[in-house]
Amino acid sequence: DQQVKQNSPSLSVQEGRISILNCDYTNSMFDYFLWYKKYPAEGPTFLISISSIKDKNEDGRFTVFLNKSAKHLSLHIVPSQPGDSAVYFCAAPLSTGNQFYFGTGTSLTVIP
């Protein structure tokens, strides 16, 4: 039962261009969403989050967009840098925070 889905296993982008990573969810009870970045052999690192009361949150080169009607969120990275090459996971907790559900990840490669 995959409540958070990332349908693109991989993405390649040229340095300096925009990277767009997508995530869909099925549980309408989710009201908070997070993106994590993971390098090999390390734990995931929190990147950015968004509450369902907003449709956009920006932090430097990273912007997350939320479309509640479509149950869809996306992470935009602009400009993309080679150091951004990693696996990106979207996640959402149930409001009680008991469990955080993660997507299967998108592996981003930024080509110099």
Could you list the residues that contact another protein (CB under 8 A)?
A: 4, 6, 9, 32, 34, 36, 41-46, 49, 89, 91, 93, 97-105
CA–CA distances in Å: residue 46 to residues 37, 58, 88: 7, 14, 10
State which residue, 42 or 70, has the beta carbon closest to another protein. Answer: 42
Smallest distance from another protein to CB 109, Å: 16
Smallest distance from another protein to CB 36, Å: 8
> What does the CA dihedral 8, 14, 15, 21 come to, rounded to 10 degrees?
-20
